[in-house]
Amino acid sequence: MVKSREVLPQPESKFINTQCPDCGSEQIIFDRASTVVKCNVCGKTLVKPTGGKAVIMIKKSKQQILG
Binding site for Zn ion (CB under 5 A): 20, 22-23, 25, 39, 41-42, 44
CA angle 6, 33, 8 (to 5 degrees): 5
Rg (CA), the chain: 15
Shortest gap between Cβ of 58 and Zn ion (angstroms)?
10
Q: Shortest Cβ distance from residue 35 to Zn ion (Å)?
A: 17
Closer Cβ to Zn ion, 37 or 39, answer by number: 39
Pick the closest to residue 43 from 22, 29, 61 (CA basis). 22
Return the number of the residue (28 or 42) whose C-beta is nearest Zn ion: 42
